[in-house]
Amino acid sequence: MKFAGMIKQSLVDYPGKIAAVLFARGCNFCCPFCHNGHLLIKPGKAGAEYINMQEILDFLRERKGFLDAVVISGGEPCLNLELPEALSKIKDIGYLTKLDTNGSRTSMLSQLGESLLLDYVAMDIKGVLDYKRYLEACGGRLSTEDFFNVKGSINLLKNADMEVEFRTTVVPGLHKAEDIIEIARYIEGASKYSLQQFNPRDTINPDYYHIKPYAREELMAMAEGCRKYVKEVRLLNV
């Protein structure tokens, strides 16, 4: 498996751990508020630069003892069929592993869980679990099969024997306070739900450059409403 980029040390991507972060290329969504648009270029397309797996493994071996974990983000990593092999090689070195995913590939998540290749999964929930609303949050790129899988992945992860975090980037115009609480109600019983502050910088859709993020106090009020359904609710990037 090849990756589009790497952060060699992060203190925020794996809670409580020092981690390297690898970015997979390609995504089946086109969320207008996403600021990783450069990762949408599919593998093999012109302009797609890579770091090869051997280079990454060499780095991870050198950093053993200084790093605790490896996070694979994207893009959508689960689109790559070589993901299990990559995770297996990382686990063999002795690292904890975390996956960031949009949940649209339930079968891959199930395979990774059954193979004990993951210690932590963070799944983005883009919006209220209504197809038309979710389609809007995904930038008009959402098949009915992918939407079905998103809901399936939520159910899978709620019962998974690993650390799981659901999270939503809260975007004015896409999400109201009642929408966020409705998502929390949908994932009721989950161990952790994170509300991530929207960042208008370098979004895929330039119309979002001018959207003013919610104030901290507004996000705190949303989080309080979510705590009726999810034990731990936290704010990110606020």
Taking residues 83-94, report their average pLDDT: 98
Percent of the chain with pLDDT over 90: 92
Which pLDDT does position 89 carry in this prediction?
A: 98
Which pLDDT does position 50 carry in this prediction?
A: 85
To the nearest 10 degrees (0 to 180), the angle between helices 106-114 and 83-93 is: 30
pLDDT value at 46 more than 50: no
pLDDT value at 60 more than 90: yes
Which pLDDT does position 36 carry in this prediction?
A: 84
Which pLDDT does position 40 carry in this prediction?
A: 76
pLDDT value at 47 more than 70: no
Taking residues 187-210, report their average pLDDT: 96
pLDDT value at 229 more than 50: yes
Question: pTM score, two decimals?
Answer: 0.94
- DSSP assignment of 36-82 equals -GGGGSPTTSTT---B-HHHHHHHHHHTBTTB-EEEEESS-GGG-TT
Which pLDDT does position 37 carry in this prediction?
A: 80
Where do the domains of the chain lie, and which CATH numbers do they carry? 5-236 (3.20.20.70)
- The mean of the pLDDT values for the chain is 95
Q: Which two tokens stand for residue 61?
A: 């071996």
Percent of the chain with pLDDT over 70: 97
Tens-place pLDDT, residues 1-21 = 989 999 999 999 999 999 999
CA distances from 213 to 40, 196, 209, 217 (A): 24, 11, 10, 11
Tens-place pLDDT, residues 156-173 = 999 999 999 999 999 999
Q: What is the DSSP letter of 172?
A: T
Q: How confident is the model at residue 38 (pLDDT cuts 50, 70, 90)?
A: confident
Tens-place pLDDT, residues 100-137 = 999 999 999 999 999 999 999 999 999 999 999 999 99
Q: Which two tokens stand for residue 71?
A: 């996070």
